[in-house]
Chains A and B, each alone.
Chain A
C-alpha cells in the first residue's frame, strides 16, 4: 500500500509512469479513503496507463472491466455457466441421481463464472479494478455499479452475499462521452488529467522512447506542444506523441523538416481539416 504522496510518486515513476503532484495526491487519497478514483481527460493522455502503473507499483494484479453499450450485470459480476449446467443435467439423467442432488450440484462453484467485478471483490489481496470507459456503458449499469462500489459487497441469490475480503482500488475512466449521475460523482475522488507540460512530456518521451536522441525528442515535443495551442478538432495527445517519435526513429530521422513532418503528420492528427490547417502554416510551427 502507498505510505505517502511522495511514495506514490516514487513507485509510479519506477513503473515508467511519470506523474505530477496533483495526480499523486488523488491516487493517494483514493487508496487511503477507499473511494473509487474517477479519471477524466482527453483520449490518450494515459488514463488507462495510470491504472496499469498503479497495479504494477503495488505489485498486484489488474482486473479490467471494459465498458460498452449493452454491458449488463451478468457480464460484469457473475454468470452461471449455462451450457455446462445443461450438459450436467443431461448426464445426470442417465444415472440414478435425484433432481435434488442435481440441483444442488449445478449451482455450485464449478458452474460459476466470476466476472471482473466479482473477481475483484473475491481476490485475497488488494487488487486494482479498472472500469474502463465507463461513459460508454448504459445508465442502468452505472447505478448497478454504484451499489456494488458503495459498500463493496454484492448479493447472489444462490450463494448469498459476497463481501470483499480486501477492498480493491477502483479506477474508473471516462472520455466524457456522457455525463455521470451526481450520485456516482459524489462517491468518487475526481481527477482530471490534461495534456502534459513541455518538460513532463519531454521526460515521458525520453522514458518511453529511449532510442530517440535528445535533440530530436526536444523538437518533437516542442512541435506537438505548439500544435496543441492551435484550434484543432482533435489535438494530439501523449500516446500520439509517442507513436510519432517511434515512427521518426524508425525512419532514421535526426531533425524535423517540412517534408518529413507533412508525410508523417497523420499519426498526430486524425482529421483532414486539422492536417490542412497545419499544412498551411507548417513553416511557422517547426522549431528551429
Chain B
C-alpha cells in the first residue's frame, strides 16, 4: 500500500500539483490512523495531500483512475498498479459495437427506430436524474465506440463527439429545451446542471476506459493534460478555463500586492539629505532624526492592442482579464481590439464585471471589416485615429500572432508608433518554432519592439507579467 501511495503522489506531481515528501509521510501516518475503507481512505488522502481547493478536481480524478480495481487488479496491494491491462479482458461492449475498429467514424448504421430510442433514452435519463442511470448511459455510449486506441487518446474531443452522436446528445438537448419552455425556470436549471454532470461523467468514463485499455502511458498522458500551469491556452476544457481565470485573478493580486510591499519598504531606504540637515538645525546640527524621501507612486500607463481574430482570441481574453484585474489597483490602461482595424474598448470595462465587458466587445466594438487579420491596415488606422493616446510615458503592449494573411506589412507605420512610446512589448501566443513560418511577420514587427515574448501557458504568463509590470 505504501508503494501505491508513493506512486500516487508521483502521478499527482505529474498533473502539476505540489506534493512534498512530508505530506506523503503524513498521508501514510493518516491512513494507519483511519483505516482504509474507500471513503475514509479518500478523505484522509485529500486532507493530507491537497492544500488547495482548485486542485481537488484533479485529485478526485486521479484517485478515481488510479485506485480503480479494473486498473489495479482486484487486490490493490498485491498487484502493482503499473500492470498493463490485458486487452482481451478489458474490451467490452461487443454487443452494441456497430462497426468495430476501423470505419466507425463513418457512422453507426443505426436504423431509424433505434435512433429515436436513443434520444428518448437520453431525455429520460436527464429528466429523472438518477446517478446510476446517468453513469449507465455514459458507459453504454463509450462502450459503443468499441476498442479504443492511441488515436482516441490523442484526439479525445473527437472520440467524445462520436459518443455524443451515438447517444444523440444534441438532439436530446434540443428536445429538453423545448420541454423546459413549457415548464418553469427551476427545472431547466436543474436539467442544465445534470447535463453538465453528464458531460463530465462522459469525459471521465472515456479517460477511464482509455487508461484501462492502454495502460500507464495513457494515464500519464491524461494527467499531463490536467497540468494547467503548462498547458497551452488553446487546449483547455471549459472547467480548466474557469480554473485559469481564478489563477489569473491570483496572479493579478500577487502583482498588485508585490508593488505595494516594495513601496512600503523602499520609503525607509532613501534618505533625503536636504530635509535631514534642515531638521537637524533644531537640535543644534545633530541629525537625530533622519528624514526619508517620500515615494510618489507613478501609475505606469499602458496601451494594449488585442488581436481578436479567431487564432488568438482565447489568449487575448486571458490577458484582458489580467490587465483589468490589476487596473483598478495601479495601472492606467487604454485598450484596443482589432482584427483589421482598431477600436477602443476601455469604456466597456469601467465599473463593470469583466464578463459583461467582453460580451459587449463582441456585440458593439467595430474591430473587423473583413474578418481576416491585417496588421498593416490596423497600424495605418491606429496612426490616423489614435496616435494621440501614445506618449513617452506609455508602454505599448501588443498581443497577437503577427499573422498578416500576406497583406502588406506597413512596418513604417508601426515604427512610427514605437517611436512615440517609452517601450513596446509584443506577446506572441504561438510556439517559437512556428514564428516566421507562412504568413507570420513576427521578426519584422518584433525587431521594432523592445521585447518579444512567447506566452502560451500560465507559467509563461506569470513570468512575463512579473517582467513587464
A29, B20: Cβ atoms closer than 8 Å: no
For the complex, give the distance between the alpha carbons of A35 and B186 in Å. Answer: 43
B26, A35: Cβ atoms closer than 8 Å: yes
Minimum distance in angstroms from B351 CB to a CB of chain A: 12
Whether, in the assembled complex, B154 has its beta carbon less than 8 Å from a beta carbon of chain A, the answer is: no
Whether, in the assembled complex, A190 has its beta carbon less than 8 Å from a beta carbon of chain B, the answer is: yes
Whether, in the assembled complex, A284 has its beta carbon less than 8 Å from a beta carbon of chain B, the answer is: yes
Give which listed residue, B47, B53, B188, contacts A189 with CB less than 8 A: B47
Residues of A within 8 Å of B, CB-based: how many? Answer: 33
In chain B, residues 220-265, which have Cβ atoms closer than 8 Å to a Cβ of chain A?
250, 253-254, 257, 261
Stretch at the interface among A111-119, A178-186, A244-252: A178-186
Minimum distance in angstroms from A2 CB to a CB of chain B: 11
B250, A186: Cβ atoms closer than 8 Å: no
Whether, in the assembled complex, A86 has its beta carbon less than 8 Å from a beta carbon of chain B, the answer is: no
Whether, in the assembled complex, A144 has its beta carbon less than 8 Å from a beta carbon of chain B, the answer is: no
Tell me which residues across on chain B come within 8 A of A226, comparing CB atoms.
Answer: 186, 189
Minimum distance in angstroms from A282 CB to a CB of chain B: 9
For the complex, give the distance between the alpha carbons of A22 and B50 in Å. Answer: 13
Mostly helix, strand, loop or mixed at chain B's interface?
A: helix
Q: Which residue of A lies closest to B39 (CB)?
A: A21
**Complex interface bits, A130-173 against B, C-beta within 8 A gives 1, otherwise 0:** 00000000010000000000000000000000000000000000
B33, A190: Cβ atoms closer than 8 Å: no
B48, A22: Cβ atoms closer than 8 Å: no
Q: Which residue of A lies closest to B253 (CB)?
A: A178
Q: Which residue of B lies closest to A229 (CB)?
A: B189
Q: Which of A41, A187, A287 has the most CB of B within 10 A?
A: A187
Minimum distance in angstroms from B446 CB to a CB of chain A: 34
Q: A178-B253, A186-B23 are in contact. Are A33 and B29 (CB under 8 A)?
A: yes
Residues of B within 8 Å of A, CB-based: how many? Answer: 33
In chain B, residues 183-233, which have Cβ atoms closer than 8 Å to a Cβ of chain A?
184-186, 188-190, 193
Minimum distance in angstroms from B53 CB to a CB of chain A: 4
Q: A25-B40, A29-B34, A178-B257 are in contact. Are A191 and B18 (CB under 8 A)?
A: no
For the complex, give the distance between the alpha carbons of A104 and B51 in Å. Answer: 47
Give which listed residue, B18, B26, B43, B261, contacts A26 with CB less than 8 A: B43
Q: Which residue of A lies closest to B41 (CB)?
A: A25
A25, B51: Cβ atoms closer than 8 Å: no
Q: Which residue of B lies closest to A280 (CB)?
A: B185
Tell me which residues across on chain B come within 8 A of A230, comparing CB atoms.
Answer: 189
B189, A25: Cβ atoms closer than 8 Å: no
A284, B186: Cβ atoms closer than 8 Å: yes
Tell me which residues across on chain A come within 8 A of B193, comparing CB atoms.
Answer: 229
In chain A, residues 95-143, which have Cβ atoms closer than 8 Å to a Cβ of chain B?
139
A29, B33: Cβ atoms closer than 8 Å: yes
B20, A21: Cβ atoms closer than 8 Å: no
Tell me which residues across on chain A come within 8 A of B89, comparing CB atoms.
Answer: none
Tell me which residues across on chain B come within 8 A of A38, comparing CB atoms.
Answer: 51
Whether, in the assembled complex, B52 has its beta carbon less than 8 Å from a beta carbon of chain A, the answer is: yes
Tell me which residues across on chain B come within 8 A of A41, comparing CB atoms.
Answer: 53
Contacts A29-B33, A192-B53, A285-B185 supplied; 19 other A-B pairs, CB < 8 Å: A5-B40, A22-B47, A26-B43, A26-B47, A29-B30, A182-B51, A185-B52, A186-B20, A186-B22, A189-B26, A190-B46, A190-B48, A191-B47, A226-B186, A229-B189, A229-B190, A229-B193, A284-B185, A284-B188
Residues on A facing B (Cβ under 8 Å): 5, 21-22, 25-26, 28-29, 32-33, 35, 38, 40-41, 139, 178-179, 182, 185-192, 226, 229-230, 281, 283-285, 287
List the 8 closest A-B pairs by CB distance, nearest first: A284-B185, A25-B43, A185-B51, A284-B184, A26-B47, A192-B53, A190-B51, A22-B43
